[in-house]
Amino acid sequence: MQNRSTFNRFSSVRSLAVVGATALALLLNACGSGMTTEEAESECGRIRDTQPACIDDNAYAQCVSCHEECGRECTALESCPESFTCD
Give me the domain span that covers residue 60. Answer: 37-86
Based on the fold, state whether residues 41 and 80 are members of the same structural domain.
yes
Based on the fold, state whether residues 43 and 80 are members of the same structural domain.
yes
- Which pLDDT score is estimated for 87? 87
- Which pLDDT score is estimated for 62? 97
Based on the fold, state whether residues 22 and 45 are members of the same structural domain.
no
- Which pLDDT score is estimated for 35? 97
- The C-alpha atoms of residue 39 and residue 43 are separated, in whole angstroms, by 6
- The C-alpha atoms of residue 70 and residue 46 are separated, in whole angstroms, by 17
Contact between residue 60 and residue 77 where contact means Cβ atoms under 8 Å apart? no
Based on the fold, state whether residues 48 and 82 are members of the same structural domain.
yes
Kindly report the backbone phi and psi dihedral angles of residue 67, in degrees, each rounded to the nearest multiple of 5, phi listed first: -70, -35
Based on the fold, state whether residues 11 and 28 are members of the same structural domain.
yes
Based on the fold, state whether residues 25 and 48 are members of the same structural domain.
no
Q: Average pLDDT of each block of 10 consecutive residues along the chain (87 residues)?
A: 57 47 42 87 96 96 97 94 94
Which CA distances in Å does 4 have to 22, 69, 86? Answer: 27, 48, 51
DSSP 76: E
Based on the fold, state whether residues 49 and 77 are members of the same structural domain.
yes
